[in-house]
Amino acid sequence: MTMPTRFKEPAGTIVEAPPKVKRKALARREVGRSIPRLESHAKVTGTAEYIYHLRLPGMLYGKICRSTVPHGRIVRIDTSAALALEGVQAVITAEDIRTVIFDPYYGPAFHDQPILAIDKVRFVGEPVAVVLAKDVHVAEEAADLVVVEYEPLDPVFDEVAAAKPGAPVIHDILRPAGMFPDLQHLKGKAGSNVALEARVLRGNVEKGFTEAAEIFENVFRSGKVIHATFEPMVSLAELNGSNGLTIHTSSQSPSFVRAEICRLLGWPENRVRVRTAFLGGGFGAKLYIKLEALVAACTLLVRKPVRIGLTMEEQFYTITKHGATVRIKTGVAKDGRIVAREVETWWNGGAYADIGPRVTQKSGFTAAGPYDIENVSLINYAVYTNDPPAGALRGFGISQLVWAYECQNDIIARSLGIDPLEFRRRNVLRDGRPHATGTIMTNAEIDDVLDQLAARMDWDRPFDHGSGTVRRGRGLAIGFKAAISPTTSVAIVNIYGDGSICLSISTVDMGQGSDTAMAQIAAETLGISAETVRVIHPDTDVTPYDMATLGSRSTYHMGNAVRLAAEDASAQLLRIAATALQANKEELEFRDGEIVSLTGIRMTIGDVMRARFGMQAGNVIGMGTFTPPYSKVDLRTGQSTQITPFWMLAGAAAEIEVDTETGRIRVTKLVNVGDVGCAINPGIAKRQLIGAGIMQLGFSLFEEMKFNEGQVINASFADYKIPGMLDIPADLSAGLVEVPHEHGPYGAKGVGETGMFSVSPAISNALYDAVGVRMMEMPITSERVLRAIRESKNRPLEKD
Amino acid sequence: MNEQGRTIRFTLNGRAATANIAVYETVIEVLQREFNLFGGRESCGQGLCGCCTVLVNGTAVSGCLYLAAFVDGAEVVTVEGLADRGMLHPIQEAFVAKTGFQCGYCTPGFILMTEQLLKRHPHPTDDQIRHFLSGNLCRCGAYPDIIEAVKEAASKLEAEGPNH
């Protein structure tokens, strides 16, 4: 007897060739227009739907009892006092979870994170138990009554120390998740905190250094910061019929949530429904699984709807950006050309991997910067520590790397006496040249970015550096990112009996304006007005698969899927109309929301539907699926012929004032330029650049999570300041470089993260220009700046 | 009324309202639970972000800190009370016209603070706008558009005369 052969996808194949942009003679009507956002009215009246506000009949509120030690064995959990509090319905621990989910570990890269702590805790704030009650205040009070006894273990917090042999081991074993194609190579591991070591090798870096005229070596650090989404993370679960579950969640990745919950439960995907609404911010915090598995397990245990919504404080214990240590060594020739660059990066992933391994390898391979360098060696370590887990934050690690290579480039340029802008012009990676991974750079307008930056800064004009105690400086930086690959988006255009149109997609509008942009793409394709398109929010029972809303991938991936779906629907409508009009399909076209024949006969889309179904009835459904090509990475060398569907190029420049007596930096001008392909909605695209720039301004100057033995000690807006109106530069602008990407939907590519990349080194380079001090660690707080200024004058301040 | 609960009577968006509340409950909790109004919303929970802004007797307060018991007999206005029979208030129109929002979570707070600002300074300077709205935070960084929206609202209100 032979076993049936299971279908297996061949590794590293090209899944589907991307469609080429058709260049129509007709002027575009919908794409390229800065139309007001579709949800404007709902947002200004306070009626926009957020899951945080959802109340289900009969639901229980869950409050989490969290670990108080950074690393320890759980000796005993005593829930009796919590259970005794009037109104408490249940106190749930890992033991209970295991009665409904046998193997309750989750994660997109490794199955390393328990739904509630099992045997051991690995960071302060880790969920250990959940109290359920009808009254949220009762649940909160009872969560404090759960007594947990720990046997402390040695913790490790620093990423470089944690990667060394002999460091306390945080996970005894590691099990790879095996879900995503780009993470298939992760291996089970034991005895080390290094979850992944990713390498890119090109040329011969040692030889390059021997040939260099000068060598520079520096270490740059970035601290931990947090997304601080204003709608805190929240998930609700309820039973759906006799064998299903519905999860309402403020998530950027409903399709992943469904798959992961079903894997945990051993259910087929059609038994779990996951829906989202508008998100009150995402920025990468609400990706993969956060609270969804916990509410699902609670609901299965108590057979009632359960809601767990975090407070702002709790978000600080849930997911952060990676802290990173970057050692960067660069060899340059006499003429200022970079001939060799070696970068070693330790990524502080915290206690659970979350998506850290992807941050490590995907951003890691860009660590040499957007430069044409013959000899490159990049090594990236994803490291476990006893900090809260680190994951994606608007850029997947890019800004930590740009911080290093752009600060160092400034050091090099100044040391060689070359203008910083000119130094970059001599070294940038231009179209047609291979990147360190071997992938050829295409559709990346780096020179245009530099030109626009220079023009907006009047870079060639003399600059007033101030005098007395207030000094002025200016600096610039460029950065880039590869989009995630390979991933899939599916879209459905649904035409109703009256001719009105819905777009069903699982892209999550978390503030970036995807509803509007996707409606514009559908409308452009169908020759209708974007304002008439209704976008159905993600509901896995209704909207088709999408990998996730992350990594600036939606405009390109979902945008292409939407265009294909709209083309499919329009082809069907034209066929029906041709039959009705007894005309050739080719003689018909969409114009102003109607189908018009050569002879001037017009049919509305509603007329077409009535022609097909004999009355206002039926549906015409257009489908679009998009998966860009990808070529698997050689794990030894990091080489790939097609590592990304598109590159995102960015540049920022800043003018600052520094008070030399206080160290305070005031950014007076900030310019952010992004290569966006063609903007679907230029207003929204610019706002993405501006908003990201403001967020990164906070990360650059003052945002930093402070820890004491693993305990976050500034987990509140009272102590962790984010940018407000008074922090915004008076002169703040964004520039779009618009050259159509040949495979983008109407030439577009992603923009959500672009504005983050270059801001920090631009400010730090401006600081050097102003007062001649070089900052090696982010954020560049007033205190750090003042210490550096005083040290440079041989009058150091006392240490704390 | 007892130490755990009491009944409060107040005016909510121009109409008489009654609610049974616990003494420790905040205005936001009561507006959400009893009146299904979610325009005032809790985010930082410490009165530092401005998402929970509501007007009590014409003054903006942080609804996540303001106890519901204190609005007994008061006049409360939320963002839901600004639109008049479906017609947007000029400030709301201005926020639409200038896209003074991204994710929208902080938007009601900004709109209500703008209402306060324009009452005090009908023609605000950039500095006045920045200072007055510095207690409202926006994580998406829509500040430049919000400033434009405030200016637009100021001219709209001036054009419409003293009725608003």
Phi, psi at A354, each rounded to 5°: 45, -125
> What is the per-residue pLDDT across A315-362, written as a single tens digit (0 to 9) for each?
999 999 999 999 999 999 999 999 999 999 999 999 999 999 999 999
- Which residues is A589 bridged to in the sheet? A596
Three-class secondary structure of residue A333 per DSSP: coil
Count the neighbouring beta carbons within 10 Å of the beta carbon of residue A493.
28
CA–CA separation, A523 and A502 (whole Å): 11
Chain A residues inside the 8 Å CB shell of B39: 45-47
> What is the per-residue pLDDT across A650-701, written as a single tens digit (0 to 9) for each?
999 999 999 999 999 999 999 999 999 999 999 999 999 999 999 999 999 9
Q: Does the beta-carbon distance from A231 to B103 stay under 8 Å? A: yes
What pLDDT score does B161 carry?
Answer: 77
Burial A132-158 (b: 16+ CB within 10 A, else e): bbeeeebbebbbebbebebeebebbbb
CA–CA separation, B108 and A43 (whole Å): 8
> What is the per-residue pLDDT across A389-446, written as a single tens digit (0 to 9) for each?
999 999 999 999 999 999 999 999 999 999 999 999 999 999 999 999 999 999 999 9
Query: Can you list the residues of chain A whose pLDDT is less than 70?
Result: 1-27
By annotation, the residues of A acting in catalysis are 753
CA–CA separation, A213 and A676 (whole Å): 37
> What is the per-residue pLDDT across B52-107, written as a single tens digit (0 to 9) for each?
999 999 999 999 999 999 999 999 999 999 988 889 999 999 999 999 999 999 99
Min Cα distance A594 → chain B (Å) is: 28
> What is the per-residue pLDDT across A476-519, written as a single tens digit (0 to 9) for each?
999 999 999 999 999 999 999 999 999 999 999 999 999 999 99
Tokens 């996540």 correspond to: B64
What pLDDT score does A350 carry?
Answer: 98
Q: Does the beta-carbon distance from A230 to B134 stay under 8 Å? A: no
Q: Does the beta-carbon distance from B105 to A726 stay under 8 Å? A: no
CA–CA separation, A756 and A703 (whole Å): 14
Nearest to A232 among B43, B140, B142 (CB): B43
What pLDDT score does A5 carry?
Answer: 44
Min Cα distance B109 → chain A (Å) is: 9
Q: Does the beta-carbon distance from A36 to B96 stay under 8 Å? A: yes
CA–CA separation, A67 and A414 (whole Å): 49
Cβ neighbourhood burial of A695 (10 Å; 0-12, 13-18, 19+): buried
Token pair recorded at residue A634: 């050689």
CA–CA separation, A132 and A155 (whole Å): 31
Tokens 């509305």 correspond to: A604
What pLDDT score does B163 carry?
Answer: 56
What pLDDT score does A254 carry?
Answer: 98
What pLDDT score does A799 carry?
Answer: 84
CA–CA separation, A636 and A749 (whole Å): 30
CA–CA separation, A41 and B104 (whole Å): 10
pTM across the whole model:
0.96
What pLDDT score does A285 carry?
Answer: 98
What pLDDT score does A21 carry?
Answer: 43
Interface test with A, best of B23, B43, B133 (most A CBs within 10 A): B43
Chain A residues inside the 8 Å CB shell of B37: 46
User: What is the ipTM score, two decimals?
Assistant: 0.97
Q: pLDDT-based confidence at B150, cuts 50/70/90? A: very high
Q: Does the beta-carbon distance from B140 to A691 stay under 8 Å? A: yes
Nearest to B99 among A37, A227, A730 (CB): A37
Cβ atoms A635, A433 nearer than 8 A = no
Token pair recorded at residue B161: 């005369």
Q: At a CB cut-off of 8 Å and minimum separation 6, what does A793 contact?
A: none
Min Cα distance A695 → chain B (Å) is: 7
Q: What is the DSSP string of A723-758?
A: --GGGS-SEEEEEEE----TTSGGGB---TTGGGTT
Token pair recorded at residue A142: 């009872």
